[in-house]
A and B are shown apart, each in its own frame.
Chain A
Amino acid sequence: MSAPAPSMYDAAATAVAERLGLAKGKANLEVFAATLEELARENPDIVAVTSDSRGSGKLAPYGIALPGQIVEVGIAEQNLVGITAGLAACGKKSFGVSPSCFLTARSLEQIKNDVCYSDVPAVLVGISAGVSYGALGSTHHSVHDFAVLRAINNLIVVAPADNFEAREAVRAAAASDTPVFLRFGKAALYDLGDAPFALGKARVLREGDDLAFIATGETVVHCLLAAGHLAETTGRQCRVISMPTVKPLDTEAVLAAAAECGAIVTAEEHMVHGGLGEAVAGVVAQSDFHPAMRIMGIPDEYTVTGSQADIFRHYGLTMSGLAEAAGPLLEKRRPAPTPA
């Protein structure tokens, strides 16, 4: 008999969320599916391509409502991406939808050549991404996808943090003339406010100059909670930046954080190698600013067994873990000198 899975929000985090006035929304996957269906009803050229994944992609209602706008390819991810590219090359707005672990590993060459190098306006949707599949283990985790996709030219890589970002990202991807990768998880998420969304742009969710949390996807909320917790317990004001677009990175927001805050904690549901953290580090290392910095993510190992919440807690991707990581950096901050 299995124990009930602990939430990734402990009592203290839930209390902070309440004090911040955050309301719980849906899983981003559900928002993706609903938004795609809404768009597809208006645009008959939108086609979803699935690899026995319409259930996991929450696209079963879409398939019933729009049977002529969904293509099932069976469990064949290479074929999925090739077909998605071929459809896009012939005027369709195709969304290739498959678990991110398979989509971005097995069919990486198709993503590179058929979609990005050929420059067709296809959208690739990595579902149940990161460690969403939890205890199913590392075969089903995609903690490599930012790293491999960042190394491919001509691909916009997006990991929405809440339902608003998810909805806007799907709409932006549908309107994009160039390839887009969208990454969605299965957990219900808090809504994080209405700062405007645009591809390639950061969203500042909370102002502050003592430290900047820069995060993407489902870790953003935990940074916001950590900032709330630090403000309540220490009076320090941390900036929280949601970075839905991992590539191209909003370097302006990163440099402003480096200069003004002098300390950066990045967080991502991804291995610490090759993801958002190293992208941010790459920007600041080549700048005139030298903030204290910590990259939070999955270390270079196959993860501990557990639910997504277990894994987040194990690697410190929760309110308490992130606040703890920020602590020493608050004492070592190196903001840019104020001009005389």
Chain B
Amino acid sequence: MTTTSSDLSDQQLAAKAVALRREMLQLIFRAGAGHTGGGMSCMDILNALYNRVLRVSPETFGDPGRDRYVQSKGHCVEALYTVLADRGFFPKSDLETVCHYQSHYVGHPTRHIAGVEMNTGALGHGLPICLGMALAAKMDRKPYRVFTLLGDGELAEGSNWEAALGAAHYQLDNLIAILDHNSLQITGYTRDVMNSEPLDEKWQSFGWNVRSVDGHDYAELGKALSDPPEPGKPTFIIANTIKGKGVSFMENNAKWHHRVPTEEELEQALAELDEAEARLKEVTR
């Protein structure tokens, strides 16, 4: 049976998230490429998944009964790489090579990397794939769950809505789709580019159980991700997040969608994260 490796408290997860954000920014700086804003917004979701929720570990990644996670918003791969390395799927030193010539660590997830289930990056692909995975679990009467992470802008892709219909039709209560709802995409606010609201009503009307949470609050995230599903219904978690979360000048700024920090900006960002870490230590003392 696959298990999660850690029983970190909310505070410990929050402290880890600061370290993960720091490592991800350094990774993006070294790589000279990356999706900074979205990576910062989904980091707490990934941290909660891999360090609290998912029944998967480096040792059990080959186990057919493991939980599956497919990152549909594949462009935020730097956050995924950072979390997988921290979790021990591969050495952190591998991250020195991200996006470098002949590196396996491409700018979107691939199965060449330990811990990655499917190659993603073209948007609107994760949910249909996960529907197939969740169906396979049901057919085999296995208890594993299937998670995917979607972006706001991605919801304009029609394939998501094909899968939204299909998952409800097949009553896939082992399928959990998480929306990194930072409300921004590369051009600007999603409501201005192609409005997808009201998301809760839409997904409910498609037959999903919808949970709305603060995507940076580990108590709320952990509960939404771990609570049993409503029988016969797939779960849609609207994780309300802040693009660029954790660094003042990156927050809620579409310009940071895929901007790489300069050395000066990196130092400033790391200093802010150091301060956040100090504050967290103060609170937990």
Contacts and interface: CB of A to CB of B under 8 A. Distances in A.
Contact of B131 (A68, A74, A86, A120): A86
A79 B124 CA distance: 10
A94 B131 CA distance: 13
A91 B66 CA distance: 13
A78 B123 CA distance: 12
B188 interface: no
A47 interface: yes
Given A79-B163, A82-B163, A90 B132 contact: yes
A89 B133 contact: yes
A76 B68 contact: no
A118 B118 contact: yes
A78 B122 contact: no
Contacts of A120: 118
Interface residue range, chain B: 20 to 34
A79 B133 contact: no
B125 A91 contact: no
B131 A83 contact: yes
Interface in A71-106: 71, 73-74, 76, 78-79, 81-92, 94
Name which of A86, A87, A109 has the most chain B CB atoms within 10 A of its CB: A86
B64 A83 contact: no
A250 B37 CA distance: 49
A112 B117 CA distance: 16
A114 interface: yes
B125 A82 contact: yes
A110 interface: yes
A82 B129 contact: yes
Nearest to A113: B122
Interface in A28-79: 47, 68, 71, 73-74, 76, 78-79
Contacts of A89: 117-118, 129, 132-133, 136
Contacts of B223: none
Contacts, number: 101
B202 interface: no
A121 to B, nearest CB: 13
B266 interface: no
A86 B136 contact: yes
A74 B128 contact: no
A280 to B, nearest CB: 31
A119 interface: yes
Nearest to A71: B135
Given A47-B139, A76-B166, A92-B139, A85 B132 contact: yes
Contacts of A76: 162, 165-166
Contacts of B131: 79, 82-83, 86
A117 interface: yes
Contacts of B169: 74
What does DSSP make chain A's interface, helix, strand, loop or mixed? Answer: helix
B178 interface: no
Interface residues of A, number: 29
B224 interface: no
B182 interface: no
A78 B64 contact: no
A117 to B, nearest CB: 5
Contacts of A83: 128-129, 131-132, 135, 163, 166
B164 to A, nearest CB: 10
Name which of A47, A78, A90, A119 has the most chain B CB atoms within 10 A of its CB: A90
Name which of A68, A79, A88, A113 has the most chain B CB atoms within 10 A of its CB: A79
B157 to A, nearest CB: 9
Contact of A82 (B121, B128, B140, B165): B128
Given A86-B130, A110-B128, A78 B118 contact: no
B63 to A, nearest CB: 12
A103 to B, nearest CB: 14
Given A74-B166, A113-B119, A118-B118, A86 B129 contact: yes
B77 to A, nearest CB: 14
Interface string B116-155: 0111111011011111111111011000000000000000
B281 interface: no
B159 interface: yes
B58 interface: no
A91 B166 contact: no
B191 interface: no
Contacts of A78: 124, 128, 158-159, 162
Contact of A114 (B110, B118, B158, B162): B118
A282 B159 CA distance: 36
Given A73-B166, A113-B125, A114-B125, A87 B135 contact: yes
8 contacts: A74-B165, A81-B128, A82-B163, A83-B135, A94-B132, A110-B128, A113-B121, A114-B118
Interface of B: 64, 68, 110-111, 117-122, 124-125, 127-137, 139-140, 158-159, 162-163, 165-166, 169-170
The 8 closest A-B pairs by CB, nearest first: A86-B132, A82-B128, A90-B136, A83-B132, A79-B162, A76-B162, A86-B129, A86-B133
